[in-house]
Amino acid sequence: MAKASAAEVQAGGRAVRVSSPDRVIYEATRHTPEVTKLMVAEYVASVEDGLMRALRDRPTALERWPSGVREGMRLATGPQDSKADAFYQKRVPRGAPDYLETATVTFPSGRTADEICPTEIAVPVWAAHMGTLTFHPWPVRRTDDPASLDHPDELRIDLDPQPGTTFADAVRVAGVARELLAELGLTAYAKTSGNRGVHVYVRIEPRWEFTDVRHAAIGFGRALERRDDQVTTAWWKEERGERIFVDYNQNCRDRTIASAYSLRPLPGAPVSTPLAWADLAQVDDPRGLNLFTVPERLADSGDPWAGIDDEAFSIQPLLDLYEELPGGEMPYPPDHPKMPGEPPRVQPSKKVAEHWDAEGNRVED
């Protein structure tokens, strides 16, 4: 039978064209059948309620895997990595539909770009037609005030299991994080990363800049370290040990996390899935939360994050922790401009003290 050249997916009252609908995006596994491009687009449409809660009015980068996901395929590490199989699309792709809206974001370098800013489910479905599996929204929302794109409304705590630790360890630490946030007066929401980690989100008042929110994440991470010895904020991998890393730099400008209800480019089409805290504690294998199971779960039980916008919280208690607990500034990501007070961006095991000044700048011979 000849393969169809195109199909249509109904998305919020629009018929979205999907080319090459029979293309296999995920190969079959022991537990899941193969997934076609059309199935990806239909999945995106089916999780509209939860996905649009995560994306609506947020500048969003697209993680595109146009040829599908296969063992050995690689995601580009930067714009010069032209031989990779997948890539991040930060600017609006050519051929975008006229109903797609945009937002102008400013990168750490000072350069700007127009990114897609979803306002209706047809936009993510069209992005799936373009090979998108994972949506990467900024932690800001577009409003009538241009400054809104410089003031995050989400604190994102990325709990990343290091070698020797497991998803179960990340779940346990997430529970400790929830308790600590509650003590500080903040309500937390959890989701699986779609891999081995857990993401903890807090809706915050959009009164602070990115540097402040990053400092809040550092302060919280240090407090969490003191409460649980399986937690680390160490930026350098050689210092982390067998712990759960709190990746505070996910709160930098232009650093994003896979959105709620995004697919991940891993066998079995796993999904970054929001869960009630009691349900998270019962998950043994996050791979069971995938393209085949999550839509039914959402339809039957609703979105566990339905109330996330009900109240926004102050991060001042976390900024107080940053000021009170020792440690000071921490390294930024390697592609970020050097920041005031930042320590040297060199592995501790390779650092020669006399080669660096007090501000973290290399001293020339």
Identify the CATH number of the domain in which residue 73 sits: 3.90.920.10
Residue range 285-301: average pLDDT? 98
Structural domain includes residue 237: yes
Is the confidence at residue 352, as pLDDT, over 80? no
Question: In the predicted model, what is the mean pLDDT of the chain?
Answer: 95
Is the confidence at residue 142, as pLDDT, over 60? yes
Please state whether the predicted TM-score (pTM) of the whole model is above 0.85: yes
Task: Clarify whether residues 188 and 310 are in a common domain.
Answer: yes
Percentage above 90 pLDDT, the chain: 90
The number of folded domains in the chain is 2
Q: Give the model's pLDDT for residue 361.
A: 60
Task: Clarify whether residues 160 and 105 are in a common domain.
Answer: no
Residue range 251-263: average pLDDT? 97
Q: CA dist 36 to 22, 69, 266, 307, Å?
A: 5, 11, 14, 33
Residue range 317-341: average pLDDT? 95
Task: Clarify whether residues 126 and 183 are in a common domain.
Answer: no
Task: Clarify whether residues 208 and 119 are in a common domain.
Answer: no
Task: Clarify whether residues 151 and 244 are in a common domain.
Answer: yes
Is the confidence at residue 68, as pLDDT, over 70? yes
Residue range 284-310: average pLDDT? 98
Q: Give the model's pLDDT for residue 2.
A: 60
Domain termination residue (choose one: 119, 137, 155):
137
Residue range 152-170: average pLDDT? 98
Structural domain includes residue 210: yes
Query: Three-state SS string across the chain, please?
Result: CCCCCEEEEEECCEEEEEECCCCEEECCCCCCCCEEHHHHHHHHHHCHHHHHHHHCCCCEEEEECCCCECCCCCECCCCCCCCCCEEEECCCCCCCCCCCCEEEEECCCCCEEEEECCCCCHHHHHHHHCCEEEEEECCCCCCCCHHHHHCCCEEEEEEEECCCCCHHHHHHHHHHHHHHHHHCCCCCEEEECCCCCEEEEEEECCCCCHHHHHHHHHHHHHHHHHHCCCEECCCCHHHCCCCEEECHHHHCCCCCCCCCCCECCCCCCEECCEECHHHHCCCCCHHHCECCCHHHHHHHHCCCCCCCCCCCECCHHHHHHHHHCCCCCCCCCCCCCCCCCCCCCCCHHHCCHHHECCCCCECCC
Q: For residue 231, what pLDDT band results from cuts at 50, 70 and 90?
A: very high
CA distance linking residue 305 with residue 54, whole number of Å: 9
Q: Say if residues 281 and 179 touch (Cβ distance below 8 Å).
A: no
Residue range 314-341: average pLDDT? 96
Task: Clarify whether residues 316 and 198 are in a common domain.
Answer: yes
Structural domain includes residue 168: yes
Closest of 344, 348, 349, 346 to residue 360, by C-alpha: 344
| Predicted confidence (pLDDT) per residue in 181-215, tens digit | 999 999 999 999 999 999 999 999 999 999 999 99
**Span of 52-66, 293-307, 348-362 with lowest mean pLDDT:** 348-362
Residue range 294-308: average pLDDT? 98
Q: Is the dihedral of CA 349, 331, 327, 183 positive or negative?
A: negative
Which pair of structure tokens corresponds to residue 332? 């930024």
Is the confidence at residue 4, as pLDDT, over 80? no
Q: Give the model's pLDDT for residue 258.
A: 98
Residue range 55-84: average pLDDT? 94
Task: Clarify whether residues 132 and 158 are in a common domain.
Answer: no
Domain termination residue (choose one: 106, 137, 168):
137
Task: Clarify whether residues 39 and 163 are in a common domain.
Answer: no
Q: CA dist 225 to 104, 286, 317, 347, Å?
A: 37, 25, 16, 21
Structural domain includes residue 359: no
Query: Structural domain of residue 193, as residue ranges?
Result: 147-260+305-328
Q: Say if residues 176 and 227 touch (Cβ distance below 8 Å).
A: yes
Task: Clarify whether residues 108 and 237 are in a common domain.
Answer: no
Structural domain includes residue 355: no
Q: Give the model's pLDDT for residue 349.
A: 85
Is the confidence at residue 360, as pLDDT, over 80? no
Quote the distance between the C-alpha of residue 301 and its chain's center: 23
Exposed, middle or buried: residue 125 (CB in 10 Å: 0-12, 13-18, 19+)?
buried
